[in-house]
Every structure is written in structure tokens, then in C-alpha cells.
């Protein structure tokens, strides 16, 4: 199976052409939101900035620039900065809800994970209804509460607990180091006060996977039912068996991945 472990380096050319760096506000469509709020729109001085996606796949799609500096990964951001990213997601989720839409929030980092720009950013897609994958995860009672109970009792796939959240490599993960971050207590609102800490746990996984060069990854929020983040480092590629048959060949068992992530603290 082919491995893409080498991230794209930050070159002068990439830096010079990046529309997301602070000071290049004129290279994006006018902003929809920026934090902190006390400044003139589309000027420097922001910590996170939300703009319309110039090349949307859906009718309404937004980008959250996760930091003013040219960082490649949320692994390079601290908790305070990730709290601001969470606050931007929260405020845009409210805006979407007011329009009768459902927000789908995720982060793609690295070419292997589908990111076209290197500068770390989140994608916010306004949908008409809960997306099918999230919908299917719902069941009688709460399947995630059942899963967390079983995983905590077993323990072998649990990486750690912090701030009322648990981080684990779930049974039958699709790819090496696939992770789940979820509140221990049943909590339906994904845009609540624990979201920033949850993003920080996801970032912690990326830091533990690589000290210097961030790995390509996809991360997304399933915000209803019992909310959680799913994080999929993209160290392998999905091929016919995965995409066509739904059988995911995971070369690192989740128990082994969890043990390694616990050790590399």
C-alpha cells in the first residue's frame, strides 16, 4: 500500500501566493466573520477569519482561516487559538440554523487529504439536512454511549481522557490512527463549550504522530445525536477494496495505534 508521509514544505512561492495569510485580506471575498470583532472588516488584526469559499462544491460553503500565521496544521495551534476556531464554527452554525440550514464542519490538511491550500483552514458547508453518514450513526437509544461504555470497560483502544472528553482509536477503524473524540456524558450539542478542547485533543494526536512535520488528515464534526469528532490521518490511500467493497484494510490495529499514541506523550 502506498504511503504518503512527507508533507509539502513551506516554500517562498507558497508563502508569497497564500491568500489566507494576515495582510492579504484583499485576496479573498469579503469576510463573513472575524475574531476578535473589534476591527475594521478585511484588515489585519484578526485571529480567525471566515470568508466565502471561492470554489464551492455546494451552494453555500465557507472557509475558516484557522490562524493569521502560515501554519500547515492545527497541530501547530494552542488551545486558546483552537477555542477561537471553535467559536467561529459555533457562530456560523447559529447563522446557518437561523436560515433553516445544518452546518457541516471539517478540516482537510495536506494534498493527500484533499487540501488545495497549505494554510490551515476549516470548511463549513451549509446543508439542507443532516448528512447521510451522520444520520446513519443514529440508532435506538444512543449507539455512541453504548460504544464508549464498551471501549472504556475494555480500555485497550483508549488513548486518554481530559476535560470530560475521551480520545480513542475505535474498534474497526478504517485507517491507521483513526481517532474518535467524544464527550463522556451524552451531549447532543456539538457546538457547545467542549468543542475547543475536543479540537485540541485532535491536534494532540497529530502532534504525537509527528513532532516536526504535520501529517495529512481529515477531521469532521458529527454534531447531532451524541456529538463527536472523527479524525482520519491519511497515511495510506483507499483503493478498490475500500471504496468498492467497503472493506478497509487497516495495517495498524487500533489497539496498537492507541498504545503507541499513549506512549508518545
Which residues would be at the binding site for Zn ion (CB under 5 A)? 18, 20-21, 70, 119, 137, 142, 144-145, 186, 222, 226
| Nearer residue to Zn ion within complex by CB, 11 or 264 | 11
Report residue 150: phi and psi, to 5°: -65, -45
| Nearer residue to Zn ion within complex by CB, 43 or 264 | 43
Q: Which residues pair with 158 in a beta bridge?
A: 168
Q: From CA 31, how far away is CA 41, in angstroms rounded?
A: 7
Q: Which residues pair with 231 in a beta bridge?
A: 179, 219
| Nearer residue to Zn ion within complex by CB, 18 or 95 | 18
Place of cell 484494510: 249
Of the candidates 108, 37, 30, 96, the residue with the CA atom closest to the CA atom of residue 66: 108
User: C-beta of 265: minimal distance to Zn ion in Å?
Assistant: 26
Q: Which residues pair with 161 in a beta bridge?
A: 166
Enumerate the H helices of 100-173 as residue ranges: 132-137, 143-154
User: C-beta of 259: minimal distance to Zn ion in Å?
Assistant: 23
User: C-beta of 3: minimal distance to Zn ion in Å?
Assistant: 26
Enumerate the H helices of 52-178 as residue ranges: 79-98, 132-137, 143-154
| Nearer residue to Zn ion within complex by CB, 113 or 142 | 142
User: C-beta of 148: minimal distance to Zn ion in Å?
Assistant: 7
Q: Which residues pair with 166 in a beta bridge?
A: 161, 182
Q: At what angle do helices 195-209 and 254-263 cross, to 10 degrees?
A: 90
| Nearer residue to Zn ion within complex by CB, 49 or 119 | 119
Report residue 14: phi and psi, to 5°: -65, -40
Question: How many Å from the N-terminal Cα to the C-terminal Cα in the chain?
Answer: 28
| Nearer residue to Zn ion within complex by CB, 137 or 163 | 137
Q: From CA 204, how far away is CA 119, in angstroms rounded?
A: 19
| Nearer residue to Zn ion within complex by CB, 100 or 246 | 246
Q: From CA 227, how far away is CA 44, in angstroms rounded?
A: 34
User: C-beta of 143: minimal distance to Zn ion in Å?
Assistant: 8
Amino acid at each position: 500500500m502506498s504511503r504518503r508521509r512527507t508533507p509539502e514544505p513551506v516554500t517562498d512561492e507558497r508563502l508569497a501566493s497564500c491568500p489566507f495569510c494576515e495582510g492579504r485580506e484583499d485576496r479573498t471575498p469579503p469576510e463573513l466573520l472575524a475574531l476578535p470583532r473589534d476591527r475594521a472588516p478585511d484588515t489585519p488584526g484578526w485571529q480567525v477569519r471566515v470568508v466565502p469559499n471561492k470554489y464551492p462544491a455546494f451552494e453555500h460553503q465557507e472557509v475558516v482561516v484557522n490562524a493569521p500565521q502560515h501554519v500547515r496544521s492545527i497541530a501547530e495551534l494552542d488551545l486558546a487559538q483552537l477555542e477561537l476556531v471553535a467559536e467561529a464554527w459555533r457562530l456560523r452554525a447559529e447563522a446557518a440554523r437561523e436560515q433553516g440550514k445544518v452546518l457541516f464542519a471539517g478540516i482537510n490538511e495536506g494534498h493527500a487529504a484533499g487540501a488545495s491550500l497549505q494554510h490551515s483552514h476549516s470548511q463549513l458547508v451549509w446543508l439542507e439536512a443532516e448528512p447521510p453518514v451522520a444520520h446513519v450513526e443514529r440508532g435506538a437509544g444512543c449507539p455512541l454511549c453504548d460504544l464508549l461504555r464498551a471501549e472504556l470497560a475494555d480500555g485497550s483502544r483508549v488513548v486518554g481522557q481530559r476535560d470530560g472528553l475521551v480520545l480513542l482509536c475505535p474498534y474497526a477503524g478504517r485507517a491507521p490512527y483513526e481517532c474518535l473524540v467524544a464527550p463522556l456524558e451524552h451531549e447532543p450539542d456539538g457546538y457547545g463549550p467542549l468543542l475547543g478542547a475536543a479540537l485540541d485533543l485532535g491536534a494532540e494526536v497529530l502532534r504525537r504522530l509527528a513532532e516536526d512535520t504535520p501529517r495529512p488528515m481529515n477531521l469532521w464534526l458529527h454534531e447531532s445525536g451524541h456529538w463527536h469528532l472523527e479524525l482520519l490521518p491519511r497515511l495510506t490511500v483507499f483503493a478498490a477494496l475500500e471504496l468498492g467493497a467497503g472493506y478497509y484494510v487497516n495495517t495498524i490495529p487500533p489497539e496498537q495505534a492507541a498504545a503507541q499514541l499513549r506512549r508518545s506523550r
